[in-house]
Structure 1
């Protein structure tokens, strides 16, 4: 089969043996595979990522000297079943899959390990238990977005965002745009999207962002967040506390009794925005801690590849909630697929181009410019080496 192999930062089309599905696995003919930011990072920072994953207990992440077929955002058609499969997903079924495969008790990330070749190829092996039929005739371009949209679905879940919350999305690359789309699909009333790129700000509008900000011109923390009752300084909070006690002392019960009653119904809970950091460069976290309102919940979705530092005293004194996220649960993956299929989640704006296997290297170069494309999909049936703009 034809596939794109990464070795020492170089992407080349190669003829490789077609993989064979093992026990409980399926062979899938790839129809689409998204190019993920993680893939771009792997090309340049594979060894750093491998060192990090080894500390997390996984020593089989790809290394720069290995030849690896990338690609984990996969949509395709089942063509064969391995031994001891349940046969519940028949050949010819269009599917998406959580990109993990297991042999014995060893689990590997599809497209992120030399032990699990990925979807920049004509065929890929997936785990049957983690594979889902695509419902409602969902178009291939949209079905291929299931995996990255599930990442956003999980991030929003981790942010515990309610419809009444104000959400701020910093960075409108594919991950940030996916987060914007999920927030609006969940009915969040006010979503502010922030990016330096005019093209990505335009895509954020199409994804449903209510406020779009160029941080070179306007601070995302001023103006857009006014009128929501957020506290920006410690004296603001101290004054509010004193004002509250002075008001409660006028009641015919002790102020602490009244306070407990208000606390029981959530009236004393501080107003705060939920901030999604979707950039992943050094300094972003510290900048958010310094500028965000008191009590903000910060969800870190972007992956910073190098060492970073921030001032814990900022988070302590402002009582900020800092959360890091990765991946999704199998149920979140399924929920995302069905939300795409029933139209409650609209992600079609994210796809800006398609490319064949021969054009993957050029697509990686193009994606280094944030103003040109958001999500480029690999379609192995395309013979040309250029990018088809969608």
Structure 2
């Protein structure tokens, strides 16, 4: 089969031996595969990424001296089953799968490991138990977005944006755009997006952002329609409440504060989704966000970073980190796409063939034109073609 191989930071199209499904595995013909920002990082910084994952006990990520077929955002059609499978779907059935492959008891990340060949190829192997049929005639283009949209759905669920809170999305690359779309799908009233790139701001509006800000011109926090408060406001509120409550004799006023904590009814800031992944961004957000904000870190920063914990403590900022998704979130994301509950079309800005993946990687280093480029293994395009909806 033809595939794009990454070795020592270089991409090349090669003819490789045909894949054979092992126990519990299914062989797919790849229909589409998205190029992810993590692929761009892994191409040149995979050793750093592997070292980081090794600290968590997961020591199977690709290394620069290995030859790896990348690509983990794919849609394909069933070709052949390996042993110990239930053969759930007929050959030709379009499916998506969580990009993890297991050999025995050892799991490997598809497209980011030498032991799990990825979707920048004519074929890919998947685990049957982690595979889901594409429904309602959903196109292969949109089905291939299941994986990155599931990442965003997991982050949105971690954010737990209530009706009283505004959501801010800092950084409108592919992850930020997906977060915007799913925030609106989940019913969030006000989503404020911020990015320096005019093209990305345009795409953010197309994904449903209610307010789109150029941070070089204005601070996004100034556009929050909910009532803002600072540390002094919070203290004065405490004084005012206590003055009123203690006028009432024998009132167990402390029960009210217990209720406020139990039901999270006290003053709160917005929920901020950090989707940039660059050093200094988290600390910058902590410095300027309102008190009691919740920050969900979705962007992957590969360099050491610096935080001022005392500043976050003084504001009682809540910091959460989001990685990946679970099988239920992956399935639910596919169904939201298939049922038209989320509009992912603005994310796709181009398509390319296997011979154009190297050019696509270079193109995606600039934010001014493309967001998500899909790879069509059957296309002869060597440069990204504009996506036709």
Report TM bin, short chain: over 0.9
**What SS does the aligned partner of 1:229 have?**
coil
Q: Say if 2:229 is the partner of 1:224.
A: no
Whether the 8 Å contact between 1:164 and 1:188 is mirrored in structure 2 is no
Structure 2 equivalent of residue 94 of structure 1: 94
CA RMSD between the two structures: 1.4
Moved more, 239-248 or 301-310: 239-248
Structure 2 equivalent of residue 191 of structure 1: 191
Whether the 8 Å contact between 1:245 and 1:255 is mirrored in structure 2 is no
Query: After superposition, what is the alpha-carbon deviation per residue over 1:166-203, rounded to whole angstroms, capped at 9, x for unaligned?
Result: 10000000000000000000110000000000111011
- Structure 2 segments unaligned to the other structure (5+ residues): none
- Structure 1 segments unaligned to the other structure (5+ residues): none
Q: Say if 2:343 is the partner of 1:339.
A: no
1:374, CA displacement in angstroms?
Answer: 0.4
Whether the 8 Å contact between 2:26 and 2:82 is mirrored in structure 1 is yes
Question: Partners in 1 of 2:244 and 2:259 — Cα distance?
Answer: 13
Query: Where in structure 2 are the equivalents of 1:310-349 lying within 5 Å?
Result: 310-349=307-346
Question: Partners in 2 of 1:260 and 1:386 — Cα distance?
Answer: 61
Q: Say if 2:253 is the partner of 1:256.
A: yes
Structure 1 equivalent of residue 123 of structure 2: 123
* Residue in structure 1 matching 2:272, options 275, 279, 298: 275
Whether the 8 Å contact between 2:165 and 2:226 is mirrored in structure 1 is no
Query: After superposition, what is the alpha-carbon deviation per residue over 1:235-272, rounded to whole angstroms, capped at 9, x for unaligned?
Result: 22111111111122344553625624862784742222
Query: After superposition, what is the alpha-carbon deviation per residue over 1:62-81, rounded to whole angstroms, capped at 9, x for unaligned?
Result: 00111100000010101110
Task: Call closer, same or farther: CA 1:261–1:65 in 2, change over 3 Å.
Answer: closer
What is the TM-score normalised by the length of structure 2? 0.97
Task: Call closer, same or farther: CA 1:29–1:268 in 2, change over 3 Å.
Answer: closer
Structure 2 equivalent of residue 107 of structure 1: 107
Question: Partners in 2 of 1:237 and 1:245 — Cα distance?
Answer: 12
Q: Say if 2:138 is the partner of 1:141.
A: no
1:165, CA displacement in angstroms?
Answer: 2.2
1:230, CA displacement in angstroms?
Answer: 2.9
Question: Partners in 1 of 2:217 and 2:13 — Cα distance?
Answer: 43
What is the TM-score normalised by the length of structure 1? 0.96
1:41, CA displacement in angstroms?
Answer: 0.2
Moved more, 261-270 or 109-118: 261-270
